[in-house]
Amino acid sequence: MSRPIGVFDSGVGGLTVLKALRRRLPNHDFVYFSDTARVPYGRKPKEMVRQFAAEIAFFLLQLDVSSIVIACNTASASALPDLANHISVPVWGVIDPGVEAARRATKTNKVGVIGTKGTIASGVYQRKLEAVGLSVWSQACPMFVHVVEEGLAESEDALVLARHYLSGMPDIDTLILGCTHYPVLAPVIEQVTGSGVVLVSSADVTAEVVAGALSHESPSGPGRLTHYVTGGVPAYQHTAEVIGGVEGRVIPLDVTRLADAGVIAGKDTATR
């Protein structure tokens, strides 16, 4: 029996990554962890996000996952190197794939990246993009996550915010959607940037990377999907509708006990 792949996000945005993964790995089992009790991560202190990520990774390891995908840019930016050093299964984030996708897409070597406050403030996209020779414009768009979760991705509210956030955008040919919620906003963002700017979502490239690394496995399938959610099941299912809903079992989880697990994880059981 094959071990499941663990995927986690602060909320429902990571479902865009999960969907891309399941398209490429239809026979694999997946566990999707959604920390809706503590969403959003975007403005929380880096140390707090890192603690949450450690707790969730520890929980996923208890489920015997074969690998972990951090399907959240904020958590990838804050926690990835640390997690990868402390646990024994492979850990992927969404940032390196996004950088790779932008590098492939740009012709002028002038790119932009938009994301949460935490992601943009970390400077990780900017550093990695500059390291491959690109010049970078970046902009935090803290309200975009909420526009999506409110089901307003196609509204006038979204357009007003997109115009505001992108008003200072220089002449670039590629824009990284540096938050897993943002693909839902692509039509509105395109209305502002015009068709001359390629929008890059890391979901597909992340799936490509993970699928490549797991190509030696061939589970018999069909892959099963289980969701664990900290903020209550009906509330999760309702919010997930904005990304196209959820399939599979949804299991509620006590965020308080998760924090206990995190304390244990901080001691010695996170490495296994």
x-or-dash string of contact with a second copy, 53-72, rule CB under 8 A = --------------------
**CA 176, CA 158: separation in Å to the nearest integer?**
18
Which of 132, 259 has the CB closer to a second copy? 259
Which residue stretch of 105-113, 125-133, 142-150, 207-215 sits at the interface with a second copy (rule: CB under 8 A)?
Answer: 142-150
**CA 114, CA 127: separation in Å to the nearest integer?**
14
Residue 141 annotated to the active site: no
Our finding on whether 168 is near a second copy (CB under 8 A) is no
7, 162, 179, 214: which is the annotated catalytic residue? Answer: 179
- Closest C-alpha to 34, from 13, 17, 19, 50: 13
Instruction: Pick the binder of a second copy from 101, 231, 246, 270 (CB under 8 A).
Output: 231
Q: How far is the CB of 74 from a second copy (least distance, A)?
A: 13
Residues 240-259 that bind a second copy (CB under 8 A): 252-257, 259
Residues sharing a CB contact under 8 Å with residue 81, sequence separation 6 or more, in sequence order: none
Our finding on whether 201 is near a second copy (CB under 8 A) is no
Q: How far is the CB of 238 from a second copy (least distance, A)?
A: 6
**CA 66, CA 47: separation in Å to the nearest integer?**
26
Q: How far is CA 74 from CA 22, 51, 254, in A?
A: 22, 13, 22
Q: How far is the CB of 115 from a second copy (least distance, A)?
A: 14
User: How far, rounded to the nearest angstrom, does the alpha carbon of residue 17 sit from its chain's CA centroid?
Assistant: 7
Q: How far is the CB of 10 from a second copy (least distance, A)?
A: 10
Which residue stretch of 89-97, 131-139, 157-165, 205-213 sits at the interface with a second copy (rule: CB under 8 A)?
Answer: 157-165
**CA 161, CA 227: separation in Å to the nearest integer?**
31
53, 60, 68, 72: which is the annotated catalytic residue? Answer: 72
Q: Tokens 């663990």 appear where?
A: 6
**Buried residues in 122-158 as b, exposed as e (16+ CB within 10 A):** bebbeebbeeeebebbbbbbbbbbebbbeebbeeeeb
Instruction: Pick the binder of a second copy from 187, 232, 244, 245 (CB under 8 A).
Output: 232
- Whether 179 contacts 243, CB under 8 Å: no
x-or-dash string of contact with a second copy, 97-136, rule CB under 8 A = --------------------x-------------------
End-to-end CA distance of the chain: 20
Instruction: Pick the binder of a second copy from 26, 81, 123, 151 (CB under 8 A).
Output: 151
For residue 231, count other CB atoms closer than 10 A to its CB: 18
**CA 180, CA 14: separation in Å to the nearest integer?**
6
Instruction: Pick the binder of a second copy from 101, 161, 210, 225 (CB under 8 A).
Output: 161
What's the length of the chain?
A: 272
Q: How many residues bind a second copy (CB under 8 A)?
A: 36
Q: Which residues bind a second copy (CB under 8 A)?
A: 36-38, 40, 42-45, 48, 51, 117, 142-143, 146-147, 150-152, 156-157, 160-161, 164, 230-232, 234-235, 238, 252-257, 259
Catalytic residues, by residue number, are 72, 179
